[in-house]
């Protein structure tokens, strides 16, 4: 019996020693090797391998000669890997550790770029998705990042692209308001539709959505028997969009986008819960 117990103990010890040997920490390479491996991987498009080497570099040489560049490269590698939240986190970390860096503008730009694409994700690259129907939170965050870049580094090489993306974001946010206005029209909630359209005109006056917003305002004001407000909206539409399809051949406003004109105002206010039989 004792021999059996002894044999089990010896076997267990041997297995333990073997496991320890197999789990032996791998050799730490020189920091230059990790950096060169990461650069080679990025140049070949292998961003997973690049990220792995950059992580090693930051782990073993957090204050080494390549530390700042490795943090910048990690932002880019994660972005290319579609790890957009990770890219944004890496950009935040870089700005926190290197607030006076000459490359801070790049980190801010990449943070904005990650937010700009975060609400789209991988699916939008392969499937048609109505961007206006999505949560605008990430778009607003991207707008803030790009705005910060332009305010702090107006001469940055990334400023022109950031400026164009801000225009695109404003267009998306305006289209989002129209998306809501169209929904309210489909529900015959014309006051709510008017509010959304008016928000577009007042806050996104340089976007292509203004034309449709003015049409909605003119129609909904007319429904609410606010003739002066409706006429003002039509006049603004005619002044800014004289070729709008809302005007007939005689130049008269004739949009006719409302589903029903016989609804009572109380029915519209209550989303049809009361007021109509």
Question: What is the tens place of the pLDDT at every residue in 80-127?
Answer: 999 999 999 999 999 999 999 999 999 999 999 999 998 665 455 555
Residues in the chain: 277
Residue 139 near residue 173 (C-beta atoms within 8 A): yes
State what percent of residues in the chain have pLDDT above 70: 78
Please report where in the chains the tokens 């519209």 appear, as a residue: 268
Task: Say what the pLDDT of residue 128 is.
Answer: 54
pLDDT recorded at residue 22? 45
Q: How many helices (H) and strands (E) does the chain have?
A: 12, 0
Of 23, 48, 22, 50, whose CA–CA distance to 38 is shortest?
50
Does pLDDT of 221 surpass 70?
Answer: yes
Rounded Cα gap, residues 233 and 271, in angstroms: 24
Instruction: Say how many CA atoms lie within 13 Å of 199 toward its Cβ.
Output: 16
- Under the banding of pLDDT at 50, 70 and 90, the label for residue 209 is very high
- Give 13 or 220, the one with higher predicted confidence: 220
Burial 164-187 (b: 16+ CB within 10 A, else e): ebbeebbbbbbbbbbbbbbebbee
Pair 77, 85: CB distance under 8 Å: no
**pLDDT value of residue 250:** 86
Show me where the domains of the chain are located.
28-170, 178-269
pLDDT confidence of residue 69: 96
pLDDT of residue 121: 56
Please compute the mean of the pLDDT values over residues 196-220 and round it to a whole number. Answer: 97
Highest mean pLDDT among 6-15, 156-165, 240-249, 262-271: 156-165
Contact 111, 91 (CB under 8 A): yes
User: Class for domain 28-170, per CATH?
Assistant: mainly alpha
pLDDT category, 267, cuts 50, 70, 90?
A: low
The torsion angles phi and psi of 131, rounded to 5 degrees, stand at: -60, -35
Put simply, whether the predicted model's pTM sits higher than 0.85 gets the answer no
| pLDDT above 50 for 220 | yes
């Amino acid at each position: 019996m004792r021999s059996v117990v002894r044999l089990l103990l010896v076997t267990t010890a041997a297995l333990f020693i073997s496991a320890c040997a197999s789990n032996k920490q791998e050799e730490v390479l020189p920091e230059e090797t990790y950096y060169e491996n990461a650069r080679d991987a990025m140049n070949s498009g292998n961003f997973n391998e690049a990220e792995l080497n950059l992580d090693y570099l930051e782990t073993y040489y957090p204050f080494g000669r390549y530390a700042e560049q490795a943090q910048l490269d990690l932002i880019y590698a994660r972005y290319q890997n579609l790890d957009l939240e990770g890219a944004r986190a890496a950009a935040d970390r870089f700005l926190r550790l290197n607030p006076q860096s000459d490359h801070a503008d790049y980190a801010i730009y990449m943070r904005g770029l990650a937010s700009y694409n975060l609400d789209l994700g991988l699916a939008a690259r392969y499937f048609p998705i109505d961007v206006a129907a999505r949560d605008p939170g990430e778009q607003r965050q991207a707008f803030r990042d790009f705005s910060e870049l332009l305010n702090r580094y107006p001469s940055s090489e990334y400023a022109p692209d950031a400026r164009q993306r801000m225009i695109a974001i404003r267009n998306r946010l305006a289209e989002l308001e129209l998306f809501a206005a169209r929904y309210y029209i489909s529900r015959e909630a014309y006051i709510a539709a008017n509010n959304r359209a008016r928000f577009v005109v007042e806050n996104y006056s340089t976007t292509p959505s203004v034309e449709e917003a003015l049409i909605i305002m003119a129609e909904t004001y007319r429904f609410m028997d606010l003739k002066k407000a409706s006429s003002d909206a039509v006049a603004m539409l005619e002044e800014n969009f004289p070729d709008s399809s809302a005007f007939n051949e005689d130049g008269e406003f004739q949009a006719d986008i409302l589903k029903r004109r016989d609804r009572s105002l109380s029915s519209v206010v209550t989303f049809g819960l009361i007021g109509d039989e």
